[in-house]
């Protein structure tokens, strides 16, 4: 139903495509927004931690919308990203607050809250997360 590559520059287009597909299959507005936010969080994680690019595949099967977000990077779950990825040392003179409150695992935790099922895998060919949302 949807197969779209993304980068940080195209996340807004991905959000538009996902919400359009979710509403087209009959999801109420609030649930479609949940789907869009979940996909955005997964895609933003892929951009930030997975090499700057990724692929979203969306399909309908067995009464649910399944959305797979894949990236070519290896996700490490033992890294504290706040200082490691920003390049800034907390408390230093050049340190500035992040534009969004950030805690390790925040995005995936949000996805787990709104999706009906979530699976995540990482391996030598990259990482992928699949979130499923039951259709009305």
Residue-wise pLDDT for 29-41, tens only, equals 999 999 999 999 9
- Residue 80 is predicted with a pLDDT of 39
- Residue 104 is predicted with a pLDDT of 56
Among candidate residues 46, 55, 58, the one with its CA nearest the CA of residue 18: 58
Rounded to whole angstroms, how far apart are CA atoms 31 and 53? 26
Rounded to whole angstroms, how far apart are CA atoms 70 and 26? 25
What are the beta bridge partners of residue 127?
71, 122
Rounded to whole angstroms, how far apart are CA atoms 41 and 45? 6
Which CATH number applies to 2-134: 3.50.50.60, 3.30.565.10, 3.90.1150.10, 3.30.1220.10? 3.30.565.10
For the chain, the average pLDDT equals 82
Most confident of 44-48, 74-78, 91-95: 44-48
Among candidate residues 29, 33, 41, the one with its CA nearest the CA of residue 107: 41
Reported pTM: 0.77
- Residue 70 is predicted with a pLDDT of 96
Rounded to whole angstroms, how far apart are CA atoms 35 and 28? 11
Question: Rounded to the nearest 5°, which phi and psi values hold at 2?
Answer: -145, 135
Asked whether 69 and 43 are in contact (CB, 8 A), the reply is yes
Give the single-character DSSP code of 15: H
**pLDDT digits over 87-117, tens only?**
333 444 444 444 444 455 678 889 999 999 9
H or E element: which one contains 118?
strand 117-123
Among candidate residues 32, 44, 41, the one with its CA nearest the CA of residue 6: 44
Count other Cβ atoms within 10 Å, centred on residue 64: 16
Q: Does 86 or 115 have the greater pLDDT score?
A: 115
């Amino acid at each position: 139903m949807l197969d779209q590559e993304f980068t940080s520059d195209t996340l807004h287009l991905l959000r538009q495509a996902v919400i359009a597909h979710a509403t087209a299959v009959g999801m109420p507005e609030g649930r479609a927004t949940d789907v869009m936010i979940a996909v955005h969080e997964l895609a933003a994680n892929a951009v930030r931690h997975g090499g700057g690019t990724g692929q979203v595949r969306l399909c309908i099967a067995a009464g649910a919308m399944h959305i797979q977000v894949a990236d070519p990077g290896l996700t490490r779950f033992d890294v504290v990203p706040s200082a490691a990825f920003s390049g800034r040392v907390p408390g230093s003179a050049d340190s500035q607050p992040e534009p969004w409150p950030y805690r390790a695992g925040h995005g995936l935790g949000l996805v787990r809250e709104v999706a009906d099922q979530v699976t995540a895998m990482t391996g030598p060919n990259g990482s992928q997360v699949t979130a499923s949302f039951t259709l009305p």
